[in-house]
Amino acid sequence: MYIILNIHFHYVVAEIYLLSNNNNILGENLRYTIPNNNSHSLEYFAKKFKVGLRNLLAANPDIDLYLPDSGKPILIPKKLILPNTPHKGIIINIAEMRLYYYPNTKNNNIVMVFPISIGTPTHETPSQWITSIKDKKKDPIWIPTQNIRNEYIKRAEILPLMILSGPNNPLGSYALYLGNSYAIHGSNTNLGIGLRVTRGCIRLRTEDIKLLYTLVPLNTRVQFINEPIKIAIDSNGMQYLEIHTPLSTINNKQDNKTATIHNLKIRTYTMLQKNNFKNINFLKVNQALEECLGIPIEITT
């Protein structure tokens, strides 16, 4: 059974990329200048360009999160390397906070990419897990776990046993259930997409989860990975490296960060060697490891 993608242009909210057999590097980055007399936070521009907040921050490390300077040029990270996984179903790379959906279309030649939020360091999202869409619900009911209710009790707040769909339901209007109390769902605030803010579930913007809910059938394969390093060679033989800040360095002590970055460097060098990358510009490799911009960097000499 094939999915017929009949989506009007005004309804397209995901990034849709055409796949090529010989190229796992897709898209092109955009350049944009913050308008004069800007009064919007970076969140506004992340939503405007359909990217995650952390991805936009990583690509523009000197930008003001709360009020970007008027007239400031920024880079919109649209170019990416596909994760090294089967091009099937849903792939969730928590390291880059992106969800990839490979629809079962007639030619299997597209991938849809959505920015996501993932679990906080104390409520981690699974990092290595293969599951499937067990159930789908419109206007889902939220049933908080006992652990969640205990957290609220510590703040002198009492949660009801269940919360119906509406403005107080953090699941939003749509949910795709994965088993083990995890779900891909929307939000009642539509804020913080691209950050570590959930209790382990995958959160999407309202318009994104609506589209995903419409397109994704039950029993669709879902794979979670945690891969901050992605490499690829384009159709012209140019070699690329994409590095994302490892999740373990966020909100962590400096000594642990140093060890993690060192391990990231070893893993990157090993990956390049195993995949027979040659004529490598190691100055560019080291710079990519230091900056972690989250965009493909060409590393061929």
Which residues are the active-site residues? Answer: 185, 201
Provide φ and ψ at 32, rounded to 5°: -145, 145
Residue-wise burial string across 213-223, b where 16 or more C-beta atoms lie within 10 A, e elsewhere: bebbeeebebb
Smallest Cα–Cα separation from 119: which of 206, 180, 56? 180
Tell me the two tokens of residue 183.
């779900």
* Centroid of chain to Cα 208: 12
Helices (H), the chain: 42-48, 53-59, 146-154, 206-215, 254-274, 282-291
Cite the beta strand spans of the chain per DSSP E: 15-18, 25-26, 30-33, 73-76, 80-81, 89-93, 98-102, 110-115, 118-119, 129-132, 135-138, 174-179, 182-185, 196-198, 202-203, 221-225, 229-233, 239-243, 297-298
CA distance 76 to 295: 10
